[in-house]
């Protein structure tokens, strides 16, 4: 095995734990929040999409500005007055990527191709934080610059 291929296999088998953005720093909403609250959090945080958690701090999905606006799109206008009557749960995306804290970097890299962020759970499926595409790319970049 060459030094390059050894370094590559070390990178790919590395655990992702060092790259996780901890849950305290992650903007999120809860299932029963109304859409006006979710939109406020999305606009204030500046993110396009954020995780949705339940009361037990488990990840149940993610919600984006686009899903919110699409849900209040009437025939001729955005029906803003409906924002308070619809809950996050009814419009969020349920099928989202998730990984455990001990997942390998290789798995995270593959998952990040189609997803800007990945939710990370512990062994009891509680929410730990997120892994962003930018932190994954930053590590790949460091590897190629070395």
* Residues at the contact surface with ligand 2BA, assessed by CB under 6 A: 21, 25-27, 45-50, 116-117, 130, 132-134
Based on CB atoms, which residue is closest to ligand 2BA, 32 or 48? 48
The minimum distance between CB 75 and ligand 2BA, in angstroms, equals 29
Nearest to 31 by CA among 82, 91, 83, 88: 88
- Closer CB to ligand 2BA, 47 or 143, in the complex: 47
Q: What is the 3-state secondary structure (H, E, C) of 67-98?
A: HHHHHCECCCCECHHHCCCCEHHHHCECCCCE
CB of 38 to ligand 2BA, least distance (A): 12
Least distance in angstroms from the C-beta of 27 to ligand 2BA? 4
Give CA–CA dist 105/52, Å, rounded.
24
- Which residue bears the tokens 């919110």? 68
The least CB distance from residue 66 to ligand 2BA, in Å, is 11
Output 9 or 45, the one with its CB closest to ligand 2BA. Answer: 45
Coil, helix or strand at residue 105: helix
């Amino acid at each position: 095995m060459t030094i390059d291929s050894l370094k590559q296999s070390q990178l790919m088998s590395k655990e992702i734990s060092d790259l996780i953005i901890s849950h305290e720093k992650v903007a999120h909403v809860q299932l029963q929040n109304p859409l006006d609250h979710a939109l406020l959090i999305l606009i204030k945080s500046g993110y396009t999409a954020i995780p949705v958690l339940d009361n037990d701090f488990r990840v149940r999905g993610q919600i984006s500005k686009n899903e919110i606006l699409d849900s209040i799109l009437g025939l001729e206008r955005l029906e803003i007055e409906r924002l308070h009557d619809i809950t996050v749960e009814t419009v969020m995306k349920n099928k989202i990527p998730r990984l455990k804290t001990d997942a390998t970097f290789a798995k995270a890299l593959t998952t990040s191709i189609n997803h800007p962020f990945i939710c990370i759970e512990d062994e009891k499926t509680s929410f730990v934080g997120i892994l962003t595409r930018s932190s994954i790319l930053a590590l790949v970049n460091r590897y190629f610059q070395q």
